[in-house]
Amino acid sequence: MRGARIIGTGRALPMRVVKNEELTLRMDTSDEWIVQRTGVRERRYVDPGTGSSHLGAEAARNAIANAGITPEDIDLIVFASLSPDHVFPGNGVLVQERLGMRTVGALDVRDQCSGFLYGLSVAEAYVKGRFHDHVLVIGAEVQSTGLDFSTKGRDVAVIFGDGAGAVVVGPAEPGRGILSSHLHSEGKYAKDLWLEAPSFIDNPWITHEMIDAGKHFPKMNGRYVFTHAVRRFPEVTLESLLKNGLTIADLSLLIPHQANLRITQAVGAALQLPEEKVFSNVERYGNTTAASIPIALDECVEQGRIREGDIVCLASFGSGFTWASTLLRW
């Protein structure tokens, strides 16, 4: 079997920077609380009319350009988002049209914070299995339009932001690039971080009562999610190293999903990794769900934090619960 590696990365962030102070005008919160409990200092919000498909398409354009190929070279689109422009069709087809691609497959992935790594595992399999040569994987979110900005929703609203990241996966010699992917889920916790309504199991699927009850806003059992996250991140990171006969000492960089600075710090401590080996940009973008890992990866590449031959672990945890890791030899 041939290998598969990331040959290009890209990102797209909305221009509008929203600092914690701005949120204090809309709800009972403070810059001090947000920074202490989450590490977030600012996030980006889109202007009206911009969807995750737009941000995703822009990130994809950058990733394709950085890969040194053209949109016509892409054989498959994988789009991960919990905030697609529409319930259907998914964002993948919108990117196919917007980038003027061939009539290639467009697969939408619904695994929230793990969506990008779930999507990357699909790209890995298709490229390693010689089904395709170039697979585009996008993680993009517009969450600012769907948050509860009243004090009732403050625990969730202060964390999340908008953004997009993308990669192109192409062929590599065996042993280089994506070494392995590890995906997990535990659906018994589905309601601990979810958006309850509108729901096709209700009839009619959208009602005034739902809206009055605020069921159309995301709800999170924050402490519970936190506790599970700090256990699963180290576990799935070690799983990827063990699978490849490596140890934590071999790891050059861990890029965890950017959920909360305290989670990232707890994970680094649990793995006994020095601070410089655990990437964080949550202070600038908040939690961008499926977009956070590809945005972080693109920044790491741009900043020269990853060199050829480095062992890099990407790891995620979030709604589902789902968690995952991907181990790379860059």
Asked whether the bond before 204 is cis by omega within 30 degrees of 0, the reply is yes
Using the 8-state DSSP alphabet, how is residue 248 labeled?
Answer: G
Q: Does 20 bind ligand UT7 (CB under 6 A)?
A: no
- What count of residues does the chain have? 330
Residue 154 neighbours by CB under 8 Å, 6+ apart: 27, 28, 29
**CB 249, min distance to ligand UT7, A:** 27
In angstroms, the CA 146 to CA 218 distance is 8
Q: Which of 12, 59, 113, 166 binds ligand UT7 (CB under 6 A)?
A: 113
113 tagged catalytic: yes
305 — phi, psi (to 5°)?
-80, -10
Structure token pair of residue 147: 């948050």
Of all residues in the shown chain, the one whose CB is closest to ligand UT7 is: 222
**CB 160, min distance to ligand UT7, A:** 8
Q: How many residues bind ligand UT7 (CB under 6 A)?
A: 21
Q: Does 222 bind ligand UT7 (CB under 6 A)?
A: yes
Q: Does 146 bind ligand UT7 (CB under 6 A)?
A: no
**CB 21, min distance to ligand UT7, A:** 13
Task: Find the binding residues for ligand UT7 in span 48-107 (CB under 6 A).
Answer: none
Of the candidate spans 124-132, 152-160, 206-214, 237-245, the one that interacts with ligand UT7 by CB under 6 A turns out to be 152-160
Q: Is the Cβ–Cβ distance between 168 and 134 less than 8 Å?
A: yes
Of the candidate spans 119-127, 199-207, 211-219, 224-232, the one that interacts with ligand UT7 by CB under 6 A turns out to be 224-232
Q: Does 143 bind ligand UT7 (CB under 6 A)?
A: no
Write down the catalytic residue from 134, 287, 300, 313: 287
Q: Does 215 bind ligand UT7 (CB under 6 A)?
A: no
In angstroms, the CA 104 to CA 112 distance is 24
Residue 280 neighbours by CB under 8 Å, 6+ apart: 39, 258, 261, 264
In angstroms, the CA 176 to CA 190 distance is 36
Helical ranges in 114-153 per DSSP H: 115-128
313 tagged catalytic: no
Task: Find the binding residues for ligand UT7 in span 290-309 (CB under 6 A).
Answer: none
Of the candidate spans 27-35, 63-71, 210-218, 232-240, the one that interacts with ligand UT7 by CB under 6 A turns out to be 27-35
DSSP H or E segment with residue 152: none
Write down the catalytic residue from 132, 134, 228, 257: 257
In angstroms, the CA 51 to CA 163 distance is 10
Q: Does 140 bind ligand UT7 (CB under 6 A)?
A: no
Task: Find the binding residues for ligand UT7 in span 155-214 (CB under 6 A).
Answer: 155, 158-159, 193
CA distances from 117 to 34, 59, 144, 313, 315 (A): 27, 16, 23, 11, 8
Tokens 């960089």 sit at which residue? 253
Task: Find the binding residues for ligand UT7 in span 225-284 (CB under 6 A).
Answer: 225-226, 229, 259-260, 263
**CB 248, min distance to ligand UT7, A:** 22
- The residue (of 263 and 300) whose beta carbon lies closer to ligand UT7 is 263
Closest among 54, 57, 167 to 121, alpha carbons compared: 167
Q: Is the Cβ–Cβ distance between 90 and 106 less than 8 Å?
A: yes
54 tagged catalytic: no
Q: Does 121 bind ligand UT7 (CB under 6 A)?
A: no
Could you list the residues that contact ligand UT7 (CB under 6 A)?
29, 33-34, 37-38, 113, 154-155, 158-159, 193, 222-223, 225-226, 229, 259-260, 263, 287, 318
Catalytic residues: 113, 257, 287
